[in-house]
Structure 1
């Protein structure tokens, strides 16, 4: 029985890896899969070695509290690889730990594939990490066209499959059914707030979105606000903050294990999304929901990234990165002011021409993401690498 090891972290990585595991087991039911990640991977059929969904941050200072847990995770992986080495390792997103695991795999001569590679092509061209990964990986399974071109130019073996959200979101119901399932009247105006998948974002992003929501309600008293929770542990701090900003009627939506995911259902039901930068932006875009995107880092982290590390990012939200042009409004750092967020939200809710242009841009973006069948293509490419590595030497 072939043995796979899959390593990821954060809520989005766990979700993506969970879908990949289901497809791998559909194509090859007798695989044994050991995983570092979260509940989605375990539910999909993997044996969970260690949980990493809570070891999640963006930024230099923000990462300091997670140094200890990250080192503990790496130690557990080292011990596992020594005691029960897999036939193939699959690294999914999560560059913080996976870049170190890639070196460990190389030293132990364990072949590896990267699925959803680091976004070096966005923020750090010609970096040493790019060329190191190109040498370490048997295959880079790319989900963006620019990602495929970038890593291929660095010398990597690349297979472009398209974006897995095309498959994942295919089962999400339309607006009317989503509203019926959530008990939302058809005529209601609903704004979804998605402030946090990491604890740091409860401090940096949540207050801005709640203040913007309060300003928006002053202009549109009929609007209803909903917030899906990335984790049940976020319920208390979000509810407390909502009361502080006068949004006592904010409806919190708990995660649910069965598809469609709770936040996908809410996205389908919403008239507008106010969200932090991340995978949810692409989900909203694929589902055709207008959105305003914001993000804030610790000011010191932002200064170090811009002036010391010389990081220059053309866009931060995935929909804009797909076509490398501004499709959705995004506000970074000091631009992310509640007044500006509320103004952009009001325009998207009340100006039909803005929504019409946005839908045309969304259509172009979706066309650039590839065709459905992404997960099947990704699993097939990975299993071909597995077969090439486990085939007896000398066999054709």
Structure 2
């Protein structure tokens, strides 16, 4: 008899975190003698891990008001497809991973249609850092049976709202554990000892090709003029980004290699420094001891609404700085994100004394990530929540691939 789990996530990082959870769920289910089926809104990595993909959400994620408009219809279409499948093949448990806007809708749908099905939020939205009010947190409380928190402060925040929240640690500590060290990674990529390897991570969302890539690559051009032995390594977040990145490499005449997504972490491990967008990748760089200059920019209209109308203030954008609530790595955001400023920060950060300060702070960040075995802990908690007295659905009712 088969138990069915539905997982909903979006973006490249959500697909990656979802994939590692799917792997752990199947492994722990096998140990416990549970036959498992996993349906998902996610991406190719989750599918490769064994989930039946109901829709690929990686390319329809966005941040901002104007930026979200082109994604509204594709997102609604995927959600309706998923809802139809869930009605026909009800799950035994639902897992939501980040992706707050879409996942709150999915959660409300499940709660209304199947009020007794447990809902777990894994890697909950960062309301504990920059919420404008309690609205989203109260909605999370209304739909969620349990939050599996990846930071201690995240668990404490949701507990204050009466949510059953448990700190389990950050999954990156498991995912990066077996990566090669810097020397081995450089050998794997064929990086000679004299080369300064500078990683560029400009985009995991389509909007970032417009708002981030030009300034980051222009900054790289300036750095290249100052450090002749520099070579740029660019992990490819999504295959469809390759033409835009290749065109930018040619335009700015960069000495650069594009790295397939599945080798992206090898490139990070090999790097001397990075110019990067704000996101989960900042934490990967911290765990792999790569100093970084963090950037981000939204449309002028979205920024104006946030700052002028909503009076939005955020302490930091990068998760690295948010963990310790102080500037561990430099950030250049919105109007401050200009090529000359980025280049100046890179040339400053690469100096030995600044590198050493950042690496020392990275150790304090690692202390906040918990112990190894995060994904297995999450999987075991989730499997325990599958009601053993509930009627299991037979294999014949499986959703076709």
User: Is TM more than 0.5 here?
Assistant: yes
Alpha-carbon distance, 1:126 to partner: 4.0
Q: Answer whether contact 2:277 2:294 (CA < 8 A) is retained.
A: yes
Q: Is the 8 A contact 2:8 2:40 kept in 1?
A: yes
8 Å CA contact 1:87–1:389 kept in 2: the answer is no
SS of structure 2 residue aligned to 1:91: strand
Structure 1: runs of 5 or more not aligned: 257-261
CA contact (8 A) 1:176 1:186 kept: no
CA offsets, 1:283-338, max 9 Å, x none?
00010111000000001001111222332211100111111111111111011111
1:253 equivalent to 2:259? Answer: yes
Deviations 1:176-208 (A, max 9, x none): 111111111122111010000011111111111
What value does the CA root-mean-square deviation take over the aligned residues?
1.4
Q: For residues 125 and 371 of structure 1, what CA distance do their matches in structure 2 show?
A: 32
Q: Matched residue of 1:2: which SS?
A: strand
- 8 Å contact 1:159–1:381 — kept in the other structure? no
Q: Is 1:173 aligned with 2:174?
A: no
Q: Quick one: distance in 2 between partners of 1:388 and 1:127?
A: 35
Q: CA shift at 1:13, angstroms?
A: 0.4
Q: Distance in 2 between the 1:303 and 1:125 partners? A: 16
Partner of 2:349 in structure 1? Answer: 348
Counterparts in 2 of 1:50-69, with a 5 A limit?
A: 50-69=55-74
CA deviation profile, 1:79-132 (whole Å, cap 9, x unmatched): 112111000000111112101011111102132100011111111154211012
After superposing on structure 2, the runs of 4+ consecutive aligned residues of structure 1 that deviate more than 4 Å are none
Determine whether 1:8 maps to 2:9. yes
Distance 1:389 1:107 in 2: 22
Cα offsets for 1:128-150 (capped at 9, x unmatched): 11012112111001001121111
Matches within 5 A, 1:1-396: 1-29=2-30, 30-108=35-113, 109=115, 110-124=117-131, 126-247=133-254, 249-256=255-262, 262-349=263-350, 351-387=351-387, 390=390
Structure 2: segments with no counterpart, 5+ residues: 393-401
> Any conservation in 2 of the 1:89–1:112 contact (CA below 8 Å)?
yes
Q: How many angstroms apart in 2 are the aligned matches of 1:56 and 1:136?
A: 22
**Alpha-carbon separation, structure 1, partners of 2:179 and 2:365:** 19
| Counterpart secondary structure, 2:308 | helix
Partners of 2:178 and 2:390 lie apart in 1 by 35
Aligned mates of 1:390, 1:363 — CA distance in 2: 45
CA distance in 1, matches of 2:6, 2:237: 25
Deviation at 1:389, TM superposition (A): 7.3
Q: Deviations over 1:267-298 (max 9, x none)?
A: 11110010000011000001011100000000
Alignment check: 8 A CA contact 2:203 2:237 kept = yes
CA spacing shift, 1:31–1:353, aligned 2, 3 Å: same
Distance 1:388 1:148, change over 3 A: farther
The match for 1:259 is none
Indicate if the aligned counterparts of 2:194 and 2:229 stay in contact, CA closer than 8 A: no
> C-alpha distance in 2, partners of 1:287/1:347?
20
Helix, strand or coil at the partner of 1:371: coil
Question: What is the CA deviation profile of residues 206-247 of structure 1, one whole-angstrom value per residue up to 9, with x for unaligned ones?
Answer: 111111111111211111111111112111111111211222
Query: In the comparison of the two structures, how many residue pairs are matched?
Result: 385
